[in-house]
Chains A and B, each alone.
Chain A
């Protein structure tokens, strides 16, 4: 709760500081706010004491690690995207504070203890992202992305609310603990509850971009400014998947027979749709979008397993994924190509070996090559699911094999030597170097964290 307030306040302060037209000051405010927030959250791990406390939010150890990851990603994104934000000094403050507000929502979605708080968190998370997606106002695609995301997102929210209402109707409570008790007793079981759970699941899967609710994904990812795409792929996905895990794996576990069957089918569909569609993409962000769809499929295998370990497995998966995506997005900012073709990455590994190194690292991590973080995430999720759902794991492994194809093609383009002469000379600013370095270290080492 303390961290939440700090981040929200730093967002407001950043917005007002922006009136001085000094982008650097805005950036500093945001970074300080986020650092303090991360510090408070880490302190929470060792010393569960809160200055402010509120019933609707509770930050146990699981919430702490997810919050720290979300705040770190937001920090990296703001720092890495600064060169983009400051191009329009009059809007810098808006971008940065919108990201901070959205992060506040993400933290609510991570720490919620009742469905009401969860809904508020989801809205606080989503509305700034709708705005950010359409923030390139003179760009048709960006406007399309914002509008599309808003309409479909609002629709999904409606379904979520509807589902929540059914669940409330069946159980008479919003509180997670009471909900799980009532479900365990089995007194409320019946169509009313089941329909509610399935509706909630549909809207969750929409938020994380799982098939068959994925159609917004590629368009929104491709149309949004790159940095917003990175934010959606890392923080939004992290918050959405954790909220899903918390609600379904730990609260609706008594009804798991009902939703695991449906989820099983949708995971299979998501993996195949994501990977097969990604094979023929020629645009970088669309590739990233389909890759993120297939990654959502892998990640959703963690909530399938009703066990305490799932929480950590999902975390390590999402952390590896987040670092890789942020590194790629920052590289795409450095390449700075409006047409967004994969071809424009030609030869940058030759021109600038360090950027090439980070790019190869992050793409291979996405592909799941050891000893990078992506491998450990995949390994943890797959191996914990293996005992219960061997078929699902085998399908997922087949999909990883398909995935290598397009990841490798991207690596080959980036490293190709033929066109190294025409490759643009890249001049990343110092902040972007730092972000890339942090991502690279994260990709190399975060797989070895065990809690």
Chain B
């Protein structure tokens, strides 16, 4: 219970804290919440399911309020807490950090995310899922750049309509099930046709949030106009909800429709990988470039999840963590550049590496992690995903493999143009301590996971086995 209570309590404290200290309130909240989740990890063995909240009543419409976590859930909870801490840490000196509403909204967002990852009831999942939309919208709207209105409107409407499709699916499921508790939904017997529509509803919601090609059109604009913390929350955490949702909800609940949909999703993912990467290569706006890079990376993860075998899923989870950290680092670097140069256009930058060697080093480290060089977590994640996709079909494997090449092209190109060459300005103040610390922690985790990925695989493995078993065990009813 304390898992959720802490962000909420700190959200309330942030509302009344004095303005000069409110940035620390947010950070302390995130750190406390992170420490608590570490305690949960310490008391957890990967093959168990821990119930956080399970009242013994069911509301009249089947809402059970069940919350709990297994390996997957706890993994995402820890990821959320770590990333939120890093976001607030990197944001500590920005002007937004001194705003009470900002800190409260970030905490509320964290609360919603923790709810999403521990909800064990369809309606609870939906409620938390939507709950995260409001704070991120408000953060981006209040603190975003001047041209934010249209992209944010598009973002909200897009994701809201996607969620409504998921709600329809849940309603349809509700007619087959006793309650919305996870195990009841798993036990629901669907015909192949119903399962198809149920899964399609979930898929629409998740595809918009991830975002998969062709549902991605809201994403580059929204990332660009959001403030740094908003972009980080969107890319590092919010889209992970959808990837997690695919593993936890979409596939296990309607596995009967896997055959019908997996080919399509994998194809869309592959199109996204190549398409977004090619667009990223042609970008001059550095934030937009990383936004497209994000589409390219998550397309691969989504395609890997649709394979639904152990290796690919383990790879997907490593890649989820990796992408969160890398996106955090890249958007931090983009924001540092934008803030100190006053532009997002790469061609107006140059020579930064000479003026700010520390920044040059850490940005390069994150860029290499993004390219998935060996010994970073991205390498092992992408390797497992591409291996799985290759086994599915060699053509798909080949297309997926291009992500490594294309990723190197756009990331290193961005790095080269912005950081090397003749300096275009007199001075560039180097990293502040909090930015440096953020980069350091990001790289530390990336390298540790890159050297010892088994830690994550062992952590999420038993839960993944269990989920795969339920999916494999479901018989398709022929009408």
Q: Are B59 and A408 in contact (CB under 8 A)?
A: no
Q: Which A202-240 residues have C-beta < 8 A from chain B?
A: none
Q: Are B149 and A405 in contact (CB under 8 A)?
A: no
- In the complex, residue of chain B having the shortest beta-carbon distance to the beta carbon of A413: B149
> Which of B61, B142, B168 is close to A415, meaning CB atoms less than 8 Å apart?
B142
Shortest Cβ gap from A143 to chain B (Å): 38
Stretch of B25-33, B37-45, B155-163 contacting A (4+ beta carbons < 8 Å): B155-163
Known: A309-B60, A370-B126, A370-B131. A412 touches B168 (CB 8 A): no
Q: Are A408 and B60 in contact (CB under 8 A)?
A: no
Provide the A399-442 mask, 1 if CB < 8 A to any CB of B, else 0: 01100110011001001111000000000000000000000000
Q: Which B83-141 residues have C-beta < 8 A from chain A?
A: 101, 123, 126-127, 130-131, 133-134, 138, 141
Contacts of B157 in A (CB 8 A): 401, 404-405, 408
> Is B171 among interface residues, defined by CB-CB distance under 8 A?
yes
Known: A370-B127, A450-B59. A397 touches B138 (CB 8 A): no
Q: Are A383 and B156 in contact (CB under 8 A)?
A: no
Q: Are A386 and B175 in contact (CB under 8 A)?
A: yes
Shortest Cβ gap from A418 to chain B (Å): 8
Contacts of B161 in A (CB 8 A): 401, 404
Q: Are A312 and B60 in contact (CB under 8 A)?
A: yes
Interface size of B by CB at 8 A reads: 30
- In angstroms, Cα B149 to Cα A416, docked, is 9
- In the complex, residue of chain A having the shortest beta-carbon distance to the beta carbon of B58: A450
Shortest Cβ gap from B193 to chain A (Å): 13
> Is B164 among interface residues, defined by CB-CB distance under 8 A?
yes
Q: Are A379 and B153 in contact (CB under 8 A)?
A: no
Provide the A348-379 mask, 1 if CB < 8 A to any CB of B, else 0: 00000100000010001001011100010001
Contacts of B156 in A (CB 8 A): 404, 408
- In the complex, residue of chain B having the shortest beta-carbon distance to the beta carbon of A357: B101
Known: A369-B134, A371-B127, A383-B61. A409 touches B175 (CB 8 A): no
> Which of A309, A312, A393, A401 is close to B171, meaning CB atoms less than 8 Å apart?
A393
- In angstroms, Cα B174 to Cα A371, docked, is 19
> Is A149 among interface residues, defined by CB-CB distance under 8 A?
no
> Is B50 among interface residues, defined by CB-CB distance under 8 A?
no
Q: Are B133 and A409 in contact (CB under 8 A)?
A: no
Q: Are B174 and A383 in contact (CB under 8 A)?
A: yes
Known: A386-B172, A405-B157, A412-B149. A379 touches B141 (CB 8 A): no
For the complex with contacts A404-B161, A412-B152, A412-B153, 15 further pairs of A-B residues with Cβ separation under 8 Å are A309-B60, A312-B60, A369-B133, A371-B131, A375-B127, A375-B130, A379-B123, A382-B167, A383-B61, A386-B175, A404-B156, A415-B141, A415-B142, A416-B149, A418-B146
Interface positions of A (Cβ within 8 A of B): 309, 312, 353, 360, 364, 367, 369-371, 375, 379-380, 382-384, 386-387, 390, 393-394, 397-398, 400-401, 404-405, 408-409, 412, 415-418, 448, 450-451
